[in-house]
């Protein structure tokens, strides 16, 4: 066996059981009794757990590697945000350095998944996002980092922030070619930009058309209801046909109010959750809906349950 191939012994599983685990090339390769010639590593009775999850952190704001700043008061949220920005602007240690120090500490304590917010506003632009993307790339083999574009200063209160948020959705940075960009949630006409964010200039752009997947359809406006999806921002994309027993995946866009739902109902059912077959809150897209018990003609709705209004609907046929 090599130094990358060993058996971890004398540890406790979450179930309370004790066993030995083989590690090969940095990955779990099995459990059982080590062979007589195995390299053994004693865990000294420690608890063996899956990797931990850091659910909320701000890698662009951490102060690791900098002097203790002390408490900085503020009477309003706006004032506290302004003081925080002023202090971070004064720091000589870059975001990439400070953020990396925290990521390394998290990894050392067993964190394997992290969700970080990154401020997007007119002061920082996408600069800090670029730094966090480089951190994610550097430690990709040790930790999965999910990035949330965060308008800390507000959208209406800080005009010019909204375009930066739109750019950050599919932002890949310009360090290596090719760059992979995440697709949008709905079909339509889009553009790819080469953006000089420091000068807020688009150096080059090209058009891209996003089409609906084969076998799916975008919802049409409800007769007598709201305007088309292009004006009210509500869309649904669902399979035209689904075999009985299969869950139904629905992509959507909409206002996502507290009583908005993505609903599966028999065709002709009155609006409302009581008569629905399955539903999911309009919080994250896509939504997976439980299948009905019988084949037939059904519909997927975007339902405003507070007003008992179907904002959009799309037909779905359940086949045997």
**Is 155 found in the same domain as 76?**
yes
The answer to whether residue 230 sits within a structural domain is yes
The answer to whether residue 300 sits within a structural domain is yes
Q: What rounded mean pLDDT belongs to the chain?
A: 79
The answer to whether residue 117 sits within a structural domain is yes
- Give the pLDDT confidence score for residue 219 in this predicted structure: 37
* Count of domains observed in the chain: 3
CB atoms within 10 A of CB 275: 11
Final residue of a structural domain among 172, 204, 228: 172
**Is 66 found in the same domain as 42?**
no
123-171 residue pLDDT tens = 777 788 888 988 988 888 888 888 888 887 777 777 777 777 666 665 5
- Give the residue-averaged pLDDT of 75-80: 81
Final residue of a structural domain among 137, 172, 207: 172
Point out which residues pair with 201 in neighbouring strands.
196
CB 122 within 8 A of CB 164: yes
**Is 43 found in the same domain as 85?**
no
124-136 residue pLDDT tens = 777 888 889 889 8
**Is 87 found in the same domain as 108?**
yes
**Is 84 found in the same domain as 16?**
no
List the single range of 4-8, 77-81, 234-238 with lowest mean pLDDT. Answer: 77-81
The answer to whether residue 184 sits within a structural domain is no
**Domain membership of residue 302 as a residue range:** 216-319
CA distances from 63 to 7, 84, 98, 131, 166 (A): 38, 11, 6, 15, 28
**Is 90 found in the same domain as 36?**
no
The answer to whether residue 188 sits within a structural domain is no
**Is 118 found in the same domain as 75?**
yes
Q: What percent of the chain has a predicted confidence (pLDDT) above 90?
A: 14
- Give the pLDDT confidence score for residue 39 in this predicted structure: 92
Final residue of a structural domain among 109, 141, 172: 172
**Torsions phi, psi for 188 (to 5 deg):** 150, -170
**Is 98 found in the same domain as 167?**
yes
The answer to whether residue 254 sits within a structural domain is yes
**Is 70 found in the same domain as 147?**
yes
**Is 137 found in the same domain as 107?**
yes
Point out which residues pair with 125 in neighbouring strands.
121
**Is 143 found in the same domain as 67?**
yes
The answer to whether residue 190 sits within a structural domain is no
The answer to whether residue 196 sits within a structural domain is no
CA distance 204 to 225: 40
Radius of gyration of the chain from its Cα atoms, rounded to whole angstroms: 25
């Amino acid at each position: 066996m090599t130094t990358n191939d060993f058996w971890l012994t004398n540890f406790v599983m979450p179930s309370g059981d004790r066993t030995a685990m083989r590690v090969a090339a940095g990955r779990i390769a099995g459990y059982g009794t080590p062979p007589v010639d195995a390299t053994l590593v004693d865990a000294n009775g420690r608890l063996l757990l899956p990797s931990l999850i850091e659910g909320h952190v701000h890698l662009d704001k951490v102060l690791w590697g900098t002097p203790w700043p002390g408490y900085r008061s503020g009477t309003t949220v706006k004032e506290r945000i302004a003081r925080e920005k002023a202090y971070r602007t004064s720091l000589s240690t870059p975001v990439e350095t400070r953020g990396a120090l925290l990521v390394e500490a998290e990894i050392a304590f067993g964190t394997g998944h992290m969700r970080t917010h990154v401020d997007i506003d007119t002061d920082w632009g996408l600069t800090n996002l670029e730094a966090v993307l480089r951190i994610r790339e550097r430690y990709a083999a040790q930790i999965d980092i999910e990035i949330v574009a965060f308008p800390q200063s507000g959208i209406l209160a800080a005009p010019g922030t909204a375009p930066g948020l739109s750019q950050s959705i599919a932002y890949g940075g310009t360090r290596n070619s090719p760059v992979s960009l995440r697709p949008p949630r709905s079909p339509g006409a889009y553009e790819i930009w080469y953006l000089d964010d420091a000068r807020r200039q688009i150096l080059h752009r090209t058009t891209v058309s996003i089409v609906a997947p084969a076998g799916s359809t975008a919802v049409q406006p409800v007769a007598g209801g709201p305007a088309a999806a292009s004006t009210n921002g509500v869309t649904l994309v669902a399979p035209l046909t689904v075999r009985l027993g299969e869950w139904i995946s629905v992509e959507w866009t909409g206002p996502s109010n507290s009583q908005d739902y993505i609903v599966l109902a028999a065709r002709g059912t009155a609006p409302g959750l009581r008569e629905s077959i399955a539903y999911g809150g309009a919080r994250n897209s896509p939504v997976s809906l439980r299948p009905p018990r019988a084949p037939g003609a059904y519909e997927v709705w975007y339902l405003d349950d507070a007003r008992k209004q179907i904002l959009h609907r799309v037909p779905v046929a359940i086949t045997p």
